[in-house]
Every structure is written in structure tokens, then in C-alpha cells.
Amino acid sequence: MQAFIRFIIRFHLFFLFLLVEMLALGIVINGNSDRKAKAVSSANAVAGAFYSQLNVVTEYLSLRNTNKLLAQENARFSNLLKTSFKNNMVRKVEIHDSAYRQQYFYFPAKVINNSTNKNQNYITLDKGSDQGIEVDMAVVGPNGIVGIVNSVSKNFSTAISMLNTKLILSGRIKRNNYFGPVVWPGTDYRYVELIDIPSHISIQVGDTVVTSGFSTIFPEGVPIGLVKNHSIDKGSNFHRITLELTTDFKSLSFVNIVNNLLKTEQETLEKSVEND
């Protein structure tokens, strides 16, 4: 109300001018019946146009309000959808056989953040300690290795990606069982390198390289990549081997987090031997 009063005061001269003009027009019209008829007709036309536009504006404002209510209702409905809730249920793939003891549990997880364009890339997953996830669990995708869990909160975890210059894995050439470290040189997200393979070893383009099993993190035989090319530098005793990763990190969506149930037992034994 105060804003309206301030508006009137600010433009009072304009409104006074309009009032005088309307009085003058009224005197002229009342003095001539023909002009009066034309004025009434014109006034009716102006009023009709005015109310027509007013109706359009009213309908527009009403539509905006309706759309707002629809958006609120849509948001309320969306909040009730299953997709709005985080799934904390965990399926464990278990093996029950009297001749075997299960060594690995697989926890399905969804990738909710992933980088591929840095020297040290990480992946965020939608499972955490409340779902049984721990640091140093392996992460594998449908087509091969992905990384290793390095940090865990109650409902989320991050994994150091294979696309990280700090990560070193043990890989084995499936055809001849020779093994060596697998590293990412920090350039192309599609390729990693298998190093320290002696120059006298036969390497073929297309050879499959898998995890060696020489760690307590990754199961043996998980695909890493295929030999894209290889060479021997002058004066070197080792191959330079480029692997094309079997995992497409640009399209990574769902993974499995792998828990080695015998990890503690193996590590305890190995430490006791080292201390002897």
C-alpha cells in the first residue's frame, strides 16, 4: 500500500494532466450529440480491447500459477519414485561347496562420479562402510579391472582408478604366464603399459594380459588389456608393451567391489615370514 501511495505522489502531475484532459473531452462531447455517439463507440472499443488483453494477462498469470502447482506436484511425485531413493541393499554372490571355500565376495555398485582427464583419476561409488565396503578392496567392471578402493564413508566410497599414475598392478601375459607391473603413463585413457618383461620373451599383438593373482586385492585372471604394440629400445633388455584396456573408462557405469575373505590370513602369514 505504501508503495502505491509513493507511486501516486511521484506521478501526481501526470494524473492531474489526464484528469484535465478527460474533463475537457467531456465538455466537448456533451456539446455535440454526434461526437458523443462516436466517443461512446470508441470508448466501448477501447474498453473491449482493454478487457480482452486483461483477460489474456489474467489467463497467463493463472497458467503460471497452474504450472507452478504442477511443478510442485511433479516434484512431490518424483520424491516418491524408486529412483529418488538410494539403494542400500547389498547382494553378495556366495558359493557353497564342500570342496571349496569361498575367497571372494562381490558387491555391485554404481559409478556416480568418474574422471579420466587427470594424472591421478578417481572414481566415486554409491556403496560405503554401511554396505560392507572397506579400503583396499578391488573394483572390477563387466570387461575387466577398474581400480582399488582408497577411501570409505558410511554410504559412499572412492577408488583410485587404473587411470592413475600412482597405481601399479601386477599383470600376467595369459599365453605364456610371464608377469610384470602394469602402469598408466598418464596420456591416453585407452592405453596402459606392461613393463619389465625381458626382451627374449615372445610377445604378440593381441596377447591378453590379466591380473597375476600376486596380491591380496585382485582375483587372478581379471582382464586388463590386449597387446596393442610392442618394441625394444636400443640397449634395453626389456620390452616396451602398450596394452589397450578392456575397460572403457569413458562409459563406466556399474562395477563390482571385490572383498578377499582370506586377505587378512594371507597377509598375516606373509608378514610373519618377513619377520623371521
Residue 226, phi then psi, degrees to nearest 5: -115, 145
Cell matching residue 7: 507511486
Distance CA 69, CA 63 (A): 10
pLDDT at 68: 47
Burial 74-112 (b: 16+ CB within 10 A, else e): eeeeeeeeeeeeeeeeeeeeeeeeeeeeeebbbbbbebe
For the chain, 276 residues long, give each residue's pLDDT as a single digit of tens. 566 566 666 666 666 666 666 666 665 555 555 555 454 455 445 445 554 555 555 555 556 566 545 544 544 554 454 434 445 566 655 544 556 678 888 999 999 999 999 999 999 999 999 999 999 999 999 999 999 999 999 999 999 999 999 999 999 999 999 999 999 999 999 999 999 999 999 999 999 999 999 999 999 999 999 999 999 988 899 999 999 999 999 999 999 999 999 899 989 998 888 776
pTM: 0.67
pLDDT at 56: 53
| Residue 180 Cα distances to 41, 156, 193, 264, angstroms | 97, 32, 10, 24
* Nearest by Cα to 154 from 125, 130, 123: 130
